[in-house]
Structure 1
């Protein structure tokens, strides 16, 4: 998908991953990681948000995914 859209269409990604420099560890295959990250990071407009989460913290929300048990 990334290769098909590269240079022709926009891709918006939102993630709770560490900084881009550490994204290689997310992929199992280093070659795939290099190819995807090259296409995503090259010519990208990155916005890294800092600060506390605006999600309410509750003992009922143990998974952090918005669901309650």
Structure 2
């Protein structure tokens, strides 16, 4: 299993795009890939950059994917509130 954590924090370089496409191409239909992101899927194309490679990458990454959209406050914020409450007492 490959996990792409915090996907989309920075734009991909040309080399990053080529490498990612190669990895996803090798895995497509044979291995599991998980991507986590704070960025909506609709914005991933722009983060990847090159339109042709972005189409190819997203086709392999998003096609037939299970998408889970989480709502609510960040768990980090909730954990920080719990920690602050415990230490202030």
TMscore range, shorter length: 0.7 to 0.9
Matched, 1:7 2:44: no
Deviations 1:36-69 (Å, cap 9, x if unpaired)?
11111111011111111121359xxxxxxxxxxx
Does 2:6 correspond to 1:16?
A: no
Which one has the bigger strand percentage? 2
**Mind listing any 5+ residue stretches in structure 2 that lack a counterpart?**
1-22, 82-89
TM-score by length of 1: 0.72
More helix by share: 2
CA RMSD of aligned residues (A): 1.6
Displacement of 1:21 in angstroms is 1.6
Q: Give 5+ residue unaligned stretches, structure 1.
A: 59-69
C-alpha displacement at 1:29, in angstroms?
Answer: 0.7
RCO higher in 1 or 2 (8 Å CA, sep ≥ 6)? 2
